[in-house]
Structure 1
């Protein structure tokens, strides 16, 4: 898959994400998930032929009384049970029916679109033994924004995301519920409203939809984007905090980082030098030779996340562009390839790694806030960053409670870093005796990122307060990058002079972060 960005193309599909079996990147999935991009399923004859050839291979094997797991046999440990020919057609319906055991919250709209895009990407590889009509039905769900109601809990990540994807399979067939135009309704009603008929799954198609890694992979694409944003915003916040505490920019010298050439820390140090306009390495506070670790070592902490991003991108995108159900059907030779591509170990590892790197960044920011609010360490800033003065200073408490809340959110994020992938369980009569837990890892990563957005929002409030107070103490000019951020923050967050509730300010900043509206959220914004 690729973005169809040929601006000379006069078709209405210019700018859509084209699904044609070519590689898809996670930015495309995120764009589909957010509604910024629509999709186009290729109607090229060669592509349609390749897809349908797999389904025809399945029918040939059935006519020859061949044995295909999940087509002529039962599922899982029941693979030794032969299905009578007259009952073969009933099997796909049975598969998504008995897997309707999902619980927990429903995936939100962005997550659901990402799941649908990930499943369509895999099926477009042409190795799943399905008809082109099945791809059309999935594409129609995305195009009309008919979103299956998918419970988040119930997958162990092998054989793929069976339980949550059963809700996709059911919706394709006009069963269970969907969200359409903001309303929850029967899938059959939504399909009818857009002129689509429920699909009757053919042999192998139930497995093809369900026995794969689309839920964990779709969620991972979104988590990766959020982790990238966390790295960028944490760098900008660190620069603001170095300025606010009269810190030492010489900790970020290029020569210093040439001596320990991890790419991530070098990139973060480069951002800090640029934000602080300190290529000459002039220290702002020569009285203190070395700042505390949460400032001095910020490139080393954020840099770990920065270095994890390209590695985990490769893992996620390889999974996204794979045929990951079982068995696979070679459309050219008709061979049935029984294996375990539904195993989501790479996504699990990526998510366990990212959530740990993100949580460490949050812990770094929590420690920076502890310096900001403590006048013993902030080089002249008032306790709790209170902007109140005179007699009223006694009854105002500044950001005291905000610092407590950041500590709580950080602690919960750190608690959530326990790797899910090591909690494999033996399930399904010991047939699925080693499973990936990839979907739990992805959900855990999302939770850490949710907490992270709250920490970032709080740190933006604190940085806005601290920079203002520093400029009161030592009037001067902010470097251009920081001036842009400070101006944006001042326009959105009033200075805390009299105590007030900050929950609405926090909520607004979280929304702005998720919309990439906060300065510093992208490299291109520099």
Structure 2
């Protein structure tokens, strides 16, 4: 079934669906608006209106007039000079998301792009023909000029494509299908390369993945609390009512929901001083749990609030009109402005990075307590399942988790403030939004690896405790993990299990993300 584009802003879930292979279709009204917008542009050009990028040069060369008769050459040269990216190719899933976000923007009817150009993007998405796009080269100022230019270049039959997993010249892939290369004219080239589609496409996938990662982190926290026999008192909803951050209230509710039915968590009961206390005495146990358990609603609450801001910001940007210039056919107007400026996404991506890194820190600290025989409430050291000393259990995996946190912390420096003047000082303050979004994607990937280690260790701890009394949520999580890796009795390489579980965490359709 195709996803219909009718000029509305798509959801983040729809961006992810198209990234993962869902086909798209255009509502007839979209093509009608595109035709009207194109006619409006042609009328302006015939009247010899000065229109940036159509009858002028680009950037600081906008002071150069260009005869409308050479518009096609002007559009091609725009794509040629911008196709200068470096680095490894972006993942094909990411490129599909970028193409869809750009297509959604163009369907809004304010870009003066030909209907044929819209259909070209649709055809490429539905054929799963994916341009090879270098990951580096955009400062996120006049939008994502460089990566979008590589997409446009492929549509023109130049550059390279990923053709169902095979890298080949774009012209060759078109010839095999009997397709003609796309030929940009008037504003077509500028319409495809201008705007925030690359940073927004990446950020949309990050938004969806981050929500799944934090949901898993909360499940793992409940499992850890059960393993340690933690106290439910600190998760009482009244604490969230007294400190009314929406995320904290949601975290209280979710943690309690996941803990429902557990016989291993300690209900809140009044405690009393001993009758024979004379001055100072020592309690049998500390009446509060460590922060990884006691402050979980506050930590995850702040994370959820940060991710919600990111999610809201990206949702608004998906399908927003981020061109320059912008056309208003009903008002016979063309507006030159800066909607391509990606600061919203840059700030949101950096905020998401901080939230994800803190989630990883929490997971690593919980794992460290779980594997330390001095602090794990009677479990064997490093959760080894047989013959301590001969076997080392999760010792190496815990070190890997520490290394991941160290690397994650190096990624926490914000990209959104790294403005550097460029383009002959025409772009004198820039956003680095795509760098921020790419960095967030890298961070999310490492967090998923760390959560995979944590999940494997917690499944081991649940079995070492004897599975009786655990909540249905934790039993379901344990079974889901065991579908990938069995109990660790004698030492074996854990890398294959970590990699396999990480792949599952990255798959939106995996049953692990749909547990009750």
TM tier, smaller: over 0.9
Q: Superposition pairs for residues 3-402 of structure 1, below 5 Å? A: 15-35=1-21, 37-44=22-29, 47-277=30-260, 282-283=266-267, 287-388=285-386, 392-402=387-397
Q: Secondary structure at the residue paired with 1:420? A: coil
Q: 1:154 to 1:250 in 2, by over 3 A?
A: same
Could you list the per-position Cα deviations for residues 10-68 of structure 1 after superposition, in whole angstroms to 9, with x for gaps in the alignment?
Answer: xxxxx421112012111001001011x21111224xx3222122222222222222211
Does the C-alpha gap of structure 1 residues 217 and 364 become closer, same or farther in structure 2, counting only changes over 3 Å?
same
Greater alpha carbon shift after TM alignment, 134-143 vs 370-379: 370-379
Relative to structure 1, the CA distance from residue 518 to residue 176 in structure 2 (aligned partners, 3 Å threshold; closer, same or farther) is closer
Checking the alignment, whether the CA contact within 8 Å between 2:350 and 2:416 is kept in structure 1 is yes
Superposition deviation, residue 277 in structure 1: 2.1
1-side partners of 2:437 and 2:209: how far apart?
12
Deviations 1:383-434 (A, max 9, x none): 111111xxx3222111111111001111111221111100011100110011
Q: Distance in 1 between matches of 2:93 and 2:72?
A: 33
In 1, Cα distance between equivalents of 2:451 and 2:392:
21
Alignment-derived partner of residue 464 in structure 1: 459
CA distance in 1 between partners of 2:355 and 2:436 (Å): 14
Which residue is equivalent to 2:399? 404
Residues 279 and 185 of structure 1: CA distance in aligned 2, closer, same or farther (over 3 Å): closer
Q: 1:515 aligns with which of 475, 495, 507?
A: 507
The RMSD of aligned alpha carbons is: 1.9
Q: TM-score, normalised by structure 1?
A: 0.92
My pick for the range that moved more, 231-240 or 304-313, is 304-313
In 2, the alpha carbon distance for the partners of 1:68 and 1:228 equals 42
Structure 2 distance, partners of 1:179, 1:359, is 32
Residues 289 and 79 of structure 1, relative CA distance in 2, 3 Å threshold: same
What are the Cα deviations for residues 487-509 of structure 1, in whole angstroms up to 9, with x where unaligned?
A: 22233222222121100000110
Once residues 290 and 160 of structure 2 are traced to their aligned partners in structure 1, the CA distance between those partners, rounded to angstroms, is: 54
1:51–1:155 CA distance, 2 compared to 1 (3 A): same
TM-score (norm. length: structure 2): 0.93
Deviations 1:308-365 (A, max 9, x none): 2332222112111211011112122332110001101111111111111011011011
Q: 2:421 aligns with which of 412, 426, 451?
A: 426
Q: Structure 1 residue 278: deviation in Å? A: 6.1
How many residue pairs were aligned? 501
1:122-158 Cα deviation digits (max 9, x unpaired): 0011111111111011111111111111111101001
* Cα pair 2:226 2:262 within 8 Å, conserved: no
- Report the Cα offset of residue 289 of structure 1: 1.3
Greater displacement, 233-242 / 61-70? 61-70
How far off its partner does 1:270 sit?
Answer: 2.0
Distance 1:48 1:276 in 2: 52
Residue 86 of structure 1, CA deviation: 4.0
Corresponding residue SS for 1:178: strand
Gaps of 5+ in 2: 272-284
How far the C-alpha of 1:520 sits from its partner, in A, is: 5.8
Aligned partners of 1:476, 1:317: CA distance in 2, in Å?
A: 43
Which of residues 466, 477, 494 is equivalent to 2:469?
Answer: 477
Shift of 1:374: 1.1
Greater shift, 108-117 or 241-250, is seen at 241-250
Residue pair 2:102, 2:319 contacting (<8 A) in 1 also: no
Kept in 1: contact 2:504–2:512 (CA 8 A): no
Contact persistence 1:236–1:520 (CA under 8 A): no
Residue 329 of structure 2 aligns to a residue whose secondary structure is coil
Corresponding residue SS for 1:24: coil
